[in-house]
Structure 1
Amino acid sequence: MENHNLTHEFPELEEKINDFRLNDEGFKKMYVNYEEVNALIQHYEEGEQNHTTDDHLTDLRKKRVSLKDNLYSYLKE
């Protein structure tokens, strides 16, 4: 399974990610939301029994991409 942690996705921005996580409430909220969605996807993908539908998992993946795009835009401002 692929690693989708934000610092893995954007290693060149790791220092900025860590700084914003600690000092920027707007970024922190988006970051926590991203990590929660990512953890939920990992839980469903790793589980021997999948307790969700394919449509729900697809929706979660779309949400993760959207959050990642928003976070990247925020970091690049």
Structure 2
Amino acid sequence: MKEPITLTEQELIALTGKTMRSAQVRALRNMSLSYQIRPDGSPVVSRKVFEQWCGLRPDSNHNNVHINLDFLNASKKKAT
């Protein structure tokens, strides 16, 4: 069976160590873990965000990082 796209209520309790919604939100904020608030007031954490946060999934934004070092070539040409 496929995992849900958000952490379950039990997983959120295990992650934060808290059962009260307001305490869970404080814990998530202290962990710098991105979350949203559902219409019923409960916090929700994306499984993808959680897995990236704890290092289980690479952040897709970091796969295409390119450092432009062309300025090094320009300074070599000026020195000759």
Select the structure of larger CA radius of gyration: 2
Would you say same fold, with TM above 0.5?
Answer: no
In proportion to residue count, which structure has more helix?
1
Greater RCO structure (CA 8 Å; 6+ sep): 1
TM-score, length of structure 1 as denominator length: 0.27
In proportion to residue count, which structure has more strand?
2
